[in-house]
Structure 1
Amino acid sequence: MAQYDFYQDQKYTIWERIHFTIEARSEEEAAAKAASMIRRDIYFTEEECVRVIETEILFDTFEEISVEDNAGNATKEIYMVAPHQDKMLADNVNSGVEYE
């Protein structure tokens, strides 16, 4: 019998912790600048006083996303590995794609 290859893509949510430093004249000024970073991307800030030290993935926050939490879009998809382009066979929103 022949063997065929497949894979499943699944969407998750997980937290990333970004350690950074801020140069400031006081602890209060540094805290205010740090709090203001919530509206910006720390990785791409133009603030010269901000420096990313390290990052870590918080694996204990790893959680599957439901279809409802993903605006009704699929969170699991099954693909068949094909020579020229992989083919999606099914997802957890639609009943599936008939193999052609």
Structure 2
Amino acid sequence: MKKALKILLTIIFIIISIFAINNLINNYLDDRLLFVALAFTSFIMHLFAWIAPKTFFNLCWKITNTMSDNFDYETGYSNLENCDIGLLITSILLLGISFLFK
């Protein structure tokens, strides 16, 4: 179920990104560029988490290892798929926000 949701949301992102880039080319605004760039950054993080989940989580774990010790590695890794879908939804929302600028 989650894999089908990821594929569907990825297709939606690609379709919306085509319109966002076309809109950005026709009417350039710095604010619009910022949200499109943030959306693509979030999408690249989603792809990295989808293609290489263990490597992505290890990288994130090393970055957040400076936090308190009450985080459990295995519990965090088991929640990675939900976070991956969250990154994808965030990138779609950021593209949607980029359309609000005129």
Q: Which has the higher helix share?
A: 2
TM-score, length of structure 1 as denominator length = 0.25
Question: Which structure features the higher share of strand residues?
Answer: 1
Q: Which has the higher contact order (CA 8 A, sep 6+)?
A: 2
Higher CA-based Rg: 1
